Amino acid sequence: MDTTIYLNANMSSVVTQKKVYVKDVAEVFCQDKKIKNHVENLLLAEIPEEKQYKEVFSTCYLIEKILMNHRECQVESIGETEFIVFYQPVDDKRKLKDKVKLVLVSLISFFGAAFSIMTFNVDVTMPELFDEIYVLFMGVKPDGPGVLQAAYSIGIFFGVILFFNHGGRYKLTNDPSPLQVQMRDYEKEVDQAFIVGADRNQESVVE
């Protein structure tokens, strides 16, 4: 009876070594453990560049590589039909750049969100509303910011944490935050666009 090898290729994979193996881009399942280990360590490709590099591969190319070494086996693909390999060389200078980018993005996000909240408050005349509520309950006009403004500010703070499901390194639940969901959707669309572009330009590795 022929042995069946199941492949579950990821849409995109990041590697830091120039030699790319099957285990770097796909999950492999086979009842024969020796065949499974051998398939996982088959050399799929070698990155020709020294800098950042990406390449689109067809799963047919992956299957062909496996069958060249295991003609007696049957290969079943249960993952992507095409996938991307991102080569990211290890570079200490790049780590510093990534940290600088993280700080810049964090600052932009913080001040951008603060500006958006302040603009919203001005558009809906929140200061006037607080003054009217104060007069309604106290009978006199406030002489400055008070309890209402403080409670509103604290409410926004906790509301943002609850909405984004994040507080520093801690998460309130195991569910992904809205920001994580949007980032995953964005990454998926970018990968799909890159694959389609490679197909149209006939840049995919298919054989």
Give the start-to-end residue ranges of the domains of the chain: 3-87, 92-198
Q: How many helices (H) and strands (E) does the chain have?
A: 7, 8
Class of domain 3-87: mainly beta
| Block residue for tokens 């398939």 | 39
- Give me the tens of pLDDT residue by residue for the chain, a chain 207 residues long: 468 999 999 888 888 888 999 999 999 999 989 999 999 999 988 888 778 888 888 899 899 999 998 888 899 999 888 888 988 887 767 777 878 888 898 888 888 888 888 888 888 788 888 888 888 887 888 777 778 888 888 888 888 777 776 665 666 677 777 777 888 888 888 888 888 887 777 766 655
DSSP result, 20-89: EEHHHHEEEE-SSHHHHHHHHT-EEEE---SS-EEEEEEHHHHHHHHHHH-TTEEEEE-S-SEEEEEE--
